[in-house]
Structure 1
Amino acid sequence: MKIKELIFYPIKSCRGIHLSHAKVGDKGLSDYNNSLYYDRTFMIVDESGKFITQRQHPQLARVIVTIDGEKITLSFDNSSMDSITFTPQNQGNMVEVQVWGDRTLAIDQGKEVAQWFQEILSVKNCRLVKQDDYNIRAINPQYSTQSNQPVSFADGFPYLLTNTASLDYLNQKLEDKYPHQQQQISMDRFRPNIVIETDTPFIEDTWENITLGEIKFKIVKPCSRCQITTTNQKTGMVNSLNEPLKTLSTFRNIPQQGIMFGQNMIALNHGKLTQSPPLSPSP
C-alpha cells in the first residue's frame, strides 16, 4: 500500500490542489510549504448564508485555485473570463453561515471576489467567506475523538480516504454495463484528500485505524455519495445517465444510510504526509 495522491481543496466545491508533501492538522490537509490555508478554509454562500456547492452549481468544478504566499488567484477554466487575485481577510465583516445543520460565523471576503463568483454562477448576492478560527464548528460528537473537535467547511470530517482498487472495481462495472460507451471515471469525482493504492477493493471498510507515514488516523464513518460524483471535474458537465452513482448504488447502497465510497477520517496526531514515489521495477 502507498499514498497515490494528496489533495486539498482551499475553497469548498472548487477544484483541488495536488500536493507532493502535505501538512496534517486538526481541520485537514494543507500545503506543507505554504500552510496558511487548510482544506475547505473558504466557501461560497448565498444571500441567506447557506453554503453553495457543485450540487446546485456544477460549474464550480472549473474554478482553478492557485495559492502564492498569502494571495489566492481564481480562474475559470476554458473561458474568456478574467482571473482574480485577492488577499484573504482574517478580520472584517462577520456573517452567519450554514453548512448542512451547522450554523457558525465566518469572515466575508469582500465585494470584488463576491462579484467574480456572482458572474460565473449567475447568483445574485452570493459571497465568499473564510472560516473564523475563533468560532469553532465541531465534528459530530458521535464520531469525534475529543470534545468540541474542530472541522472546516468540509461536509462533516477533516479527511476523506479513497482506494484505487475500489475505483478500478467500479470502472470495471461501468465497462461491463456500457461496453460501447466511455463511462469510466477518474478519482476526482469523489473529491478525496488521500488516495491510497491497494490491490483489494473497499478494504478500507474493514479498518478502524490506518497509519500513513508518521500519521495515525481514526476511520470513523463511510462516506455517502451525492450527485457531485456525476459531474465531470474538468468540464463541469453532469452525466446524463446519472453515472457513476447509478451503478454504484447497485452494490454499495446501505439502506437508510446512503451510497458509500471512501472513508471519513480524523487525524490522531499532526505532522507531514508525503506522496509515495512510484516503485521501480526489479532488475
Structure 2
Amino acid sequence: MPSASEIIALFDSTAIALLLTTVVVFSIPVFILFPPIPVEHGDALQQTHSKVGIPASESSLRNQTSPEHNYQPDKVGKIQSLLIYPVKSCRGIEVTNSKIFAKGFEFDRLFTFARQKASRTVTSGEDAEQPNQPKKPQWEILTLRQVPLLANVQVDLWLPDASKTSRQLGRVGGRFIVVRFPWKDAGLRGTIQWISAKLSRGFSGIPEKEFMLSIDFPPPGEIKTRGYQYEDTRFFEGTVHALNLRNEVPPELARYLGVNVPTTIFMIDPAQRRQVFRNAPRKEDLGYQPMADFQDVYPLNVLSLTSVRALESKVQKDDGLKFLDARRFRPNIIVSGLKEYDEDDWRRIEFSQPSQGATAPRLKSQFDVSGRAVRCKLPNVDPATGIRHKVEPDNSLRKHRAIDGGAPGKGCFGMQLCPIFSSTDKPEDMELSLEVGMEIKVLERGQHWAL
C-alpha cells in the first residue's frame, strides 16, 4: 500500500499533467487566431510572385577582394555585378541582368524617404493675403549622408510569376516592394517578436517590421482614395515634385532611424521625371534628353573593382573599416579586369556578350560617359551595418582622387553614364539590356570637367 507521501506526489504529478493539458488545449485556438509567428508579406507573395535578386550566398561580390579581378593583359574587362536600389539609400538588390531605359535601370530609385522640415509662420510681409498662417509642410529627402541606418532598411522586389497560382487567390498581378527594418517593441510583445524571429528565420534572425508598396504608379482615383498628395521635396539645392505616400509609412521607422520629425516616402511620377543636363549629352546630339528618378544626378554609375582595391591601399584601416566594399559607393554597374583608374578618361563605352561564334549575334549596349562621380562622405557608411566611419574613405578620396578641375579638393571615384539608343523616335524602342559577364570595350577617350 502506497504511503501518504507517495500519494501526494502522484496527485501533484497528475494535477500538473492535467493543468498542462488544459493550457495546451485552450492555447490551440489562440495560436490559430493570433499566431506567434506573424504572416509576412513575403510568405503570401511567394505563392503568386517571384522575388528579384541574387541570394547573398551566391553574390558575385563575395570574393570582390580576390586578385582574379585585377587587370590581366590576356583577358577582357567584364561586368562583375549589377545593382538596383528601388528605395534611395536603402540596401540594394544584386541582379544578373537588367533592362535600361532613358532614366537608367528598371526599378532603380523609384522611391525615397523624406523627413518634414520645421515649418515657420508666414509674416504679413511675405504673404499679405494670408498673414500669420503656417506654411505647408516642407520635406527633405533622406540619404545615408544624414541617416546612416538607412543602410539596414532592406527592400524586396516581387514580380508576378506566370508559373505560380494560388489555390485561394488564383493568379495575382501587380508588382510590389516589401520594405523591412529592424524593430522590437518593448515588454512582453517585444519578447514574443524576438522568439518569432528566431523560429521563422533561424538563430540569427532578428525582429523586423515591414510594409508593402505597389511599384505601379496609382491612377487618380486610387491617389484620392488613399489620401496621397503631390508635394515638393528638397533634393540637394533643388526640389522634386513627386507623390507623397505618407499614410503607408509606419511611425516606428522614424524612431528606428533616429529621426524626430514626421517621415514619409515619396514615389516618382513617371510622367514627371527630372531631365538631366550638366555634362549629359543634349537632345539634339543624343536624340533624347537623359532623365532620372531619385538618382543624385545621372541615370547610371559604373565602378571598377581594380580601382576600389587601388583606393583601398591608401585607406587607413582599423576595426571600423577592415576592407573597402565596392557597395559603399552605391554603383549600378561593377566591372572587373581593368587597369586601375582606367575609367577616368572614358567618353564612350560598349558592353557586349562574349563571342559565341562567327555567326551568333551579340547583344550590345552603348553609353555616353558623361563625367566623373564627385564623392561626398556617403561612402563612409558601411553598407552591411549602417555604421559611419569617422574619416574613411573620404580622407583618402580627397587626398588621392582630387583629379577633376571642376571639383577642386573633392575626391572623384567611378563614372556617370547615360544610355545611347539606336532609335529614339518611339519610347518603346528606347531600351537596352545588360547582364553579368558582358565584356567592356572603350570606344572613345577624352577629358572631363565636373559640373
Structure with larger RCO (C-alpha < 8 A, sep 6+): 1
Residue in structure 1 matched with residue 209 of structure 2 by the alignment: 82
Task: Provide the secondary structure at the position in 1 that maps to 2:437.
Answer: coil
Matched, 1:187 2:339: no
Measure how far apart 1:19 and its partner are: 0.6
What is the rounded CA distance, in whole Å, between the counterparts of 2:336 and 2:416 in structure 1?
A: 17
Matched, 1:20 2:134: no
**What are the equivalent positions in structure 2 for 1:34-53 lying under 5 Å apart?**
38-47=107-116, 48-53=138-143
What is the rounded CA distance, in whole Å, between the counterparts of 2:289 and 2:393 in structure 1?
A: 36
**What are the equivalent positions in structure 2 for 1:101-120 lying under 5 Å apart?**
101-113=237-249, 115-120=251-256
Residue in structure 1 matched with residue 277 of structure 2 by the alignment: 140
What is the rounded CA distance, in whole Å, between the counterparts of 1:200 and 1:272 in structure 2?
A: 25
Task: Provide the secondary structure at the position in 1 that maps to 2:313.
Answer: helix
Matched, 1:165 2:306: yes
* Residue-pair matches, total: 268
What is the rounded CA distance, in whole Å, between the counterparts of 1:116 and 1:10 in structure 2?
A: 21
CA contact (8 A) 1:10 1:40 kept: yes
Residue in structure 1 matched with residue 435 of structure 2 by the alignment: 274
Could you state the TM-score of these two structures normalised by the residue count of structure 2?
0.56
Larger radius of gyration: 2
What is the rounded CA distance, in whole Å, between the counterparts of 1:62 and 1:181 in structure 2?
A: 17
Measure how far apart 1:97 and its partner are: 1.9
CA contact (8 A) 2:103 2:290 kept: no
Measure how far apart 1:116 and its partner are: 4.8
CA contact (8 A) 1:65 1:74 kept: yes
Distance verdict in 2 for CA 1:145–1:5, change over 3 Å: farther
- Structure with greater strand percent: 1
CA contact (8 A) 1:114 1:125 kept: no
Residue in structure 2 matched with residue 73 of structure 1 by the alignment: 178
Residue in structure 2 matched with residue 247 of structure 1 by the alignment: 396
Q: What fraction of aligned residue pairs are identical, expressed as a percent?
A: 24
Measure how far apart 1:179 and its partner are: 8.8
Measure how far apart 1:114 and its partner are: 5.2
- Structure with greater helix percent: 2
Q: Provide structure 2 residue ranges, at least 5 long, that are not aligned to the other structure.
A: 1-76, 117-137, 160-174, 183-204, 224-228, 353-363, 422-430, 440-451
What is the rounded CA distance, in whole Å, between the counterparts of 1:209 and 1:277 in structure 2?
A: 16
Which string of whole-angstrom CA distances, capped at 9 and with x for unpartnered residues, describes residues 253-274 of structure 1? 1466121100011011222111
CA contact (8 A) 1:114 1:128 kept: no
Matched, 1:225 2:366: no
CA contact (8 A) 2:245 2:265 kept: yes
Distance verdict in 2 for CA 1:189–1:8, change over 3 Å: same
Measure how far apart 1:108 and its partner are: 1.7
Measure how far apart 1:45 and its partner are: 1.5
Could you state the TM-score of these two structures normalised by the residue count of structure 1?
0.87
Q: Provide structure 1 residue ranges, at least 5 long, that are not aligned to the other structure.
A: 31-37, 279-283
CA contact (8 A) 2:181 2:253 kept: no
Residue in structure 1 matched with residue 231 of structure 2 by the alignment: 95
Which of 256, 267, 274 is matched with 1:130 structurally?
A: 267
What is the rounded CA distance, in whole Å, between the counterparts of 1:253 and 1:141 in structure 2?
A: 19
Task: Provide the secondary structure at the position in 1 that maps to 2:366.
Answer: strand
Name the amino acid aligned to 1:273. L
What is the rounded CA distance, in whole Å, between the counterparts of 2:85 and 2:320 in structure 1?
A: 31
Which string of whole-angstrom CA distances, capped at 9 and with x for unpartnered residues, describes residues 199-225 of structure 1? 311101121111012110000110011
CA contact (8 A) 1:21 1:273 kept: yes
Residue in structure 2 matched with residue 152 of structure 1 by the alignment: 293
Measure how far apart 1:189 and its partner are: 0.6
Task: Provide the secondary structure at the position in 2 that maps to 1:204.
Answer: helix
Matched, 1:60 2:150: yes
Residue in structure 2 matched with residue 199 of structure 1 by the alignment: 338
Residue in structure 1 matched with residue 417 of structure 2 by the alignment: 265
CA contact (8 A) 2:351 2:438 kept: no
CA contact (8 A) 2:249 2:263 kept: no
Name the amino acid aligned to 2:272. N
CA contact (8 A) 1:117 1:127 kept: no
Name the amino acid aligned to 2:149. Q
What RMSD, in angstroms, separates the aligned Cα atoms of the two structures?
Answer: 2.3
Name the amino acid aligned to 2:238. D
Larger displacement relative to structure 2 (161-170 or 134-143)? 134-143
Residue in structure 1 matched with residue 388 of structure 2 by the alignment: 238
Distance verdict in 2 for CA 1:79–1:122, change over 3 Å: farther
